[in-house]
Amino acid sequence: MMNDDTEKNQNTIEHENITVLIDEDRIARRVAELAARIESDLGSLEGEITLVPIMTGSMLFVSDLIRRLKLPLRIAPVTVQSYPGTATTSRGAHLQTPIPEVLRDSHVVLVDDILDSGGTLSMLRRLVEAVEPRSIRACVLLDKQVERSHEVGCEYAGFEIADEFVVGYGLDHDGLYRNLPFIGTLKALEHD
């Protein structure tokens, strides 16, 4: 059995190679603010509301977001592979699941972890438009301040961040670090 000191040491060791950019409390406050804005914008509209989480990166964000939303809504996740390899963020997006038909005649909110090149959201907006929703909006936790290779609108953004590779709160590096309750940078990557 571990005592409190042992547990604290393991947590410290686990995270010693990460610089925290956005802590858990700031994330929670911002998610609540985003939920309030979405409710304000969509709450009085006629028709169903469907959130489309882009898996796997958005799973923690969307889980917290939907618990804060007090609107009746559907959840229709899609899986997009956009970051093959390790720290690469510009190799394109590939839809791995079909666009759900339930989006037809619905107010759609695409939910993603991070907006960088714009490729993923641009592709999904185009594909969702084909099933004729009432409206399409996008909500991202992080808006990376980079020159975008695709023009894409984003109605709701949690935080603006610099052009650096981030992990935590759903974002990974080689499949690791998604479970961190904060967003940070890997010190090893900061020096590359």
Closest alpha carbon to 140 in 122, 114, 175:
114
| pLDDT, position 82 | 60
Query: Is 162 inside any structural domain?
Result: yes
CATH number of the structural domain spanning residue 108: 3.40.50.2020
**Residue 13: inside a domain:** no
Is 148 a residue whose pLDDT tops 90? no
Catalytic residues: 116
Give, rounded to a whole angstrom, the gap between the first and last alpha carbons of the chain.
39
Q: Give me the pLDDT at residue 96, please.
A: 85
pLDDT of the residue at 17: 87
Task: Find the mean pLDDT for residues 145-169.
Answer: 90
Task: Indicate the number of domains in the chain.
Answer: 1
Q: Let me know if residue 7 belongs to a domain.
A: no
CA 187, 62, 60, 172 torsion: positive or negative? Answer: negative
Q: pLDDT tens, 48-92?
A: 999 999 988 899 999 999 999 999 999 999 998 765 544 444 456
Where b means 16+ CB within 10 Å and e means fewer, 20-49 reads ebbeeeebeebbeebbeebeeebeeeeebb
The structure's pTM equals: 0.85
Q: Residues 100-140: pLDDT tens digits?
A: 899 999 999 999 999 988 888 999 999 999 999 999 999 99
Spatial contact of 178 and 11, defined as CB atoms under 8 Å apart: no
Give the residue with greater pLDDT, 151 vs 1.
Answer: 151
The answer to the question of residue 12 being in a domain is: no
The residue range of the domain holding 165 is 19-190
